[in-house]
Amino acid sequence: MTIDQSIPLSKDRLFNWLKTLSNQLSKGTLLIDINDENLPILHANPYFSKLTTFENKQVINQNINILNGKRTNEKTIEDLNLHLKSGSPKKLTILHYTKEGSAFWNSITLHPIRNDEKIIQYVLLTCEDTTEETLNKMIYKLEHEVYQAIDNENNLQSILNLISEKIELFYIRDVYCTIHLYNKNYEIKSMGSYKLPEYVINKLDLLEITPNSSFNKSAVYLKDFTATPLYADISENYELDALKGSWTKLILTPQNEVSGILTLFNQDSTELKQIDINYLNRLTLLIQLAIKYAEQKIQLRHLAFYDSETSLPNIHFFKTHLSEWLNTGELGFVAIIHPTEFNKIVDLYGRNAGADLLSQLANRLREYLAVDDVLISRFSNSIVLGIKGEIGFTTYYQKIDLLTLIPFLIDNNETYITLKIGYTTFDQSLTVDQIIHQSDIALSKARNRSGNSFEVYEENSTKQLIEEMEIINQLAYALHHEEFVVYLQPKINFTTIEVEGFEALSRWNSSRLGFIPPNKYIPIAEETGKIKEIDLLNFKNILIWLQKRLNKGKRILPVSLNISPDHFYDPLFLENIQNTFNQFHVPPQFIKLEVTESIELVDFKRAKDILDQLKAIGIECSIDDFGVGFSSLSYLPQLPFSEIKIDRSFVSSMDEPGMYAIVQTIILLAKNIKMRAIAEGIETKEQLAMLQQLGCPAGQGYYFYKPMSISDAEQLLDTKKTADEK
Ligand code: C2E
Ligand code: MG
Ligand code: MG
């Protein structure tokens, strides 16, 4: 509607003319005198009465502020009055109230009217109920915000909170909004409410609606909440004036099952209008959508961030969260934890068993470490652990070390495992990939050590890795050119103090890299599978030597060979040993095999089978480095070993009472299960005396002889030199 703003009429004639005009308009219209500072209403048309339920006489000489109510925005009131006073044209939307107290959005337009002297005399104010339109706009806006929240990976709880917050802030009535959802067990759980305190929301969980209630799914239920026992209960502790009536609408799944309820608690108990019902319907649809999308997102997220074999978080999950830590300036460490026996377990029981081991390990880590700010994810054949904060890795290591004391149940077998751990500390100066790479380098170092062990990344770690790469490259060459030789360390009988045999130890003097100690290349050879060839080569060289001496009619003594556990489990192992052995005529009692302690624990049955078959052909076996791993003592008597070798670390600290007791126990144990105890690494007279006192029958060590070349051993045998003559 356009009105000519300069109608050439005197003030009185103008007024009458405007009255007639306004009565013919199909919008609520007021005529306001702006020359009086109270801005009185001089006339209201019939449409205005219909819209506001105020009769004409009730508004005459009042001003527009009569329509204001509790939720009318102060700023908009001021804005409207200012424009009225100055008589300037204006359009605005304001929340107004009818005489009966229902709120509506009022779209107001101000038209200044001038008299024939061009002076503004009146303002013609037209108004229109645009509640539906405004609510629609709000819902569109809310929908947009909800989609954005879903896109930003917000969780369902925060999305539903957002919805209830917007409803409470912008709805035309003063309401509290709660959203309750059923969980998988059909327990109801409050998911949203902005203004209500948690105490009240939790109480509202008790609403008497169950998924089986036979509700008419399209209806909205208006209920006098004040009449419920719950109201009485809550209002004892909480001022609940505002909660009078409540409207409840069911939230349905796409399959039309009840998934929750939306409740608006409102202050006024006025009747619901069709627009309220429409609004609620649209809100429940929006909530339904939010739930559906949130569920889909969760599924997608699960696929992207979780490992399907173990259900553990995967490396992407780890990297994403680690980079968040880095962005917020956190400090901490990352450790890659690898079960040494992983490959063996996969070979024996299959891939699922490997995955199972990793998830059991992850669970134990969570349980033993018991820290909140922790990231635990699967990373290939390892677990990667991230902890933020000031406490360093070594403090946590004590707990990690403990978790291997109890066997893991793999494919129904009790299995002891050992852990190799590489870790690095992090701060903002590093990228996520650098941190993982550094932990990997440290892990490579730790893999070269026995038992549970850890290494930290250091600047020179990269150098060590390069060295390892060189060793890997040279191993094949060395095997081809037979650069490996065996050295022999005599074993001494403690009763006669005579040499009773030898242990064969591998030595490598590389033409390219110089002398490399076994502790460096044996673990690498094990990792690369080359150890099998090295062990067989040593075996062959020992047989050649023994055969030569036999052929010359010279005396020989038993020689023990170290056999790598990997080799021991190789299905071809027995065949290879037998084939090599059969090429010579050395009696089997002159050959012994040493395997490290953890071997029988991975697969007790297979270990027993192999040991039995070796025994059948006359070859005896020893358990090497006893006490370092985690032998299950109950298995030990059933395995046909003939010797237990007490690890050097115990012998070297026998002067400590605790260690002395351990050595004593091992010697006793060996006696009880009819095995011989052999002490390793004897370096002093005192150690020998103590071992003799404990009844240890034999041993080896620098105190008697260092490992020597075959020709030196030859000389030793030929001169019949014994330890006491030395
Ligand atoms: P091991 O079988 O326990 O061998 C004993 C180690 O202790 C040898 O180290 C030996 O030189 C050292 N040793 C002996 N007496 C003393 C002593 O009184 N004091 C000190 N400090 N050390 C002493 P080596 O030769 O460096 O071998 C290290 C490990 O490498 C061996 O431990 C064994 O597990 C492995 N190894 C050596 N040769 C072979 C081999 O041919 N095949 C396999 N699979 N492993 C081997
Ligand atoms: Mg040995
Ligand atoms: Mg040993």
Domain co-membership, 292 together with 216 = yes
- The secondary structure of 57-120 as a DSSP string is HHHTTS-GGGG--TTS-HHHHHHHHHHHHHT--EEEEEEEE-TTS-EEEEEEEEEEEE-TTS-E
In three-state secondary structure terms, 671 is helix
Cα–Cα–Cα angle for 547, 550, 552, nearest 5°? Answer: 110
* CATH number reported for the structural domain that contains residue 212 in this entry: 3.30.450.40
Query: Which of 427, 442, 459 represents a domain boundary (last residue)?
Result: 459
In three-state secondary structure terms, 279 is helix
Domain co-membership, 633 together with 706 = yes
Decide if 53 is inside a domain: yes
Which atom number of ligand 1 is nearest to the Cα of residue 505? 38
Residue among 601, 593, 597, 600 nearest 573 (CA): 593
Centroid of ligand 3 to alpha carbon of 706 (angstroms): 14
Instruction: Please report the pLDDT score of residue 219 as a whole number.
Output: 60
Centroid of ligand 3 to alpha carbon of 339 (angstroms): 22
Question: β-strands 498-510, 484-493: how paired?
Answer: antiparallel
User: Are 579 and 552 within 8 A, CB to CB?
Assistant: no
Ligand 1 neighbourhood includes 622 CB (under 6 angstroms): no
Spatial separation of the C-alpha atoms in residues 719 and 234, rounded to whole Å: 101
Domain co-membership, 380 together with 427 = yes
Decide if 2 is inside a domain: no
Helix axes 315-327, 432-447, angle to 10 degrees: 120
Centroid of ligand 3 to alpha carbon of 596 (angstroms): 8
User: Are 379 and 371 within 8 A, CB to CB?
Assistant: no
Give the range of the structural domain holding residue 387, as residue numbers without chain letter: 315-459
Domain co-membership, 386 together with 514 = no
Instruction: Please report the pLDDT score of residue 263 as a whole number.
Output: 83
Ligand 1 neighbourhood includes 683 CB (under 6 angstroms): yes
C-alpha atoms less than 13 angstroms from C-alpha of 159 in its C-beta half-sphere: 26
* CATH number reported for the structural domain that contains residue 104 in this entry: 3.30.450.20
User: Are 691 and 527 within 8 A, CB to CB?
Assistant: no
The residue whose two tokens read 């893991």 is 408
In three-state secondary structure terms, 685 is helix
* CATH number reported for the structural domain that contains residue 484 in this entry: 3.20.20.450
Cα–Cα distance list, 123 to 19, 76, 97, 111, 261 (Å)? 12, 18, 21, 5, 48
Domain co-membership, 531 together with 670 = yes
pTM beyond 0.85: the answer is: no
Instruction: Please report the pLDDT score of residue 429 as a whole number.
Output: 93
* CATH number reported for the structural domain that contains residue 408 in this entry: 3.30.70.270
Ion ligand 2 — residues with CB under 5 Å? 562, 594, 624
Decide if 725 is inside a domain: no
User: Are 259 and 291 within 8 A, CB to CB?
Assistant: yes
Residue among 304, 400, 422, 312 nearest 357 (CA): 312
Below-70 pLDDT ranges, the chain: 1-9, 153, 183-194, 197, 199, 201-225, 227-230, 237-244, 268-270, 597-603, 628-634, 720-726
Instruction: Please report the pLDDT score of residue 722 as a whole number.
Output: 43
In three-state secondary structure terms, 199 is helix
Ligand 1 neighbourhood includes 506 CB (under 6 angstroms): yes
Query: Which of 129, 148, 180 represents a domain boundary (last residue)?
Result: 129
State the first-to-last Cα distance of the chain, in angstroms, to the nearest integer.
Answer: 125
Phi-psi region of 247 (alpha: psi -120 to 50; beta: other; left: phi over 0): beta
Domain co-membership, 469 together with 514 = yes
Q: What are phi and psi of 649, to 5 degrees?
A: -65, -30
Query: Which of 444, 459, 474 represents a domain boundary (last residue)?
Result: 459
Instruction: Please report the pLDDT score of residue 181 as a whole number.
Output: 81
C-alpha atoms less than 13 angstroms from C-alpha of 576 in its C-beta half-sphere: 17
| Number of independent structural domains in the chain | 4
In three-state secondary structure terms, 277 is helix
179: tokens are: 């959203």
Instruction: Please report the pLDDT score of residue 36 as a whole number.
Output: 92
Centroid of ligand 2 to alpha carbon of 561 (angstroms): 7
Decide if 309 is inside a domain: no
In three-state secondary structure terms, 240 is coil
What ranges in 92-206 are assigned the alpha helix state H? 131-151, 156-170, 198-204
Ligand 1 neighbourhood includes 564 CB (under 6 angstroms): yes
Domain co-membership, 712 together with 566 = yes
Cα–Cα distance list, 8 to 70, 116, 118, 237, 491 (Å)? 42, 4, 8, 67, 131
